[in-house]
Amino acid sequence: MAAWDTYIQKDFSALTEDEEWVAVIRDLAPGRGKYRSTHARIRVSKDPKKYPETLWVRLGRGQLIETPCSMQILEYVDVFPKGM
């Protein structure tokens, strides 16, 4: 399982589960690309085994939720205007 993290602007109890939403996720694989961010359409579950990727969740000021979630990446989303 690849590991990622994301930040949410609400309490962990209000995390949207099993519905598609676009988030900024960060790649946690070691090396020069660690913490590279990308926009992606994802599904998340608090069940760490439900989806293929591991997703760690942080709150708005960086507080880490100690147990990981799982995530399915449905597609990467390019938000930048073409040519920019």
Partner 1 sequence: MAYTYYKDNRAYIEALLKTGDCVVVNDEVDWDLEMGAIVRRMCERKSPAAHFKKVKDYPGFEAFGAPIATWRRLAICFGLPPDASIPDIQREYLKRTSGPPIAPRIIDRKNAPCKEIVWTGDDANLLNLPAPMVHDGDGGRYICTWHFVVAKDYDTDFVNWGMYRQMLFDEKTMVGPVLPFSDMGKMLYNKYAPRNLPMPFATVISPDPLSAIASSAPSPIAEAEFTGQLMGEGVELVKCETSDLYVPAHAEIIVEGVILPNLTIEEAPFGEYTGYRTSPRDKRTVYRVKAITMRKNAIMAVSNMGVPTDEGQLLRSFSMALEMERMLRDQGLPISGVYMLPESTHHLVVVGVKPIYANVATQISQLVFGSKFGAWFHMVLVVDDKTDIYNKDAIIHALCTRCHPVTGIRVTQHGFGTPLNPFCSPEERRFSRTPKVVFDCLFPPEWPTSDLPIPVSFNSVYPKDMQERVLEKWRTYGFKD
Residues at the site binding partner 1, with contacts judged by CB under 8 A: 7, 9, 24, 26, 31-39, 58, 60-64, 79-81, 84
**Which of 19/30 has CB closer to partner 1?**
30
CA distance 26 to 77: 13
Least distance between partner 1 and beta carbon 84 (Å): 5
- What single-letter DSSP state applies at residue 36? -
- The tally of CA atoms less than 13 A away on the side-chain side of residue 48 is 12
Least distance between partner 1 and beta carbon 8 (Å): 9
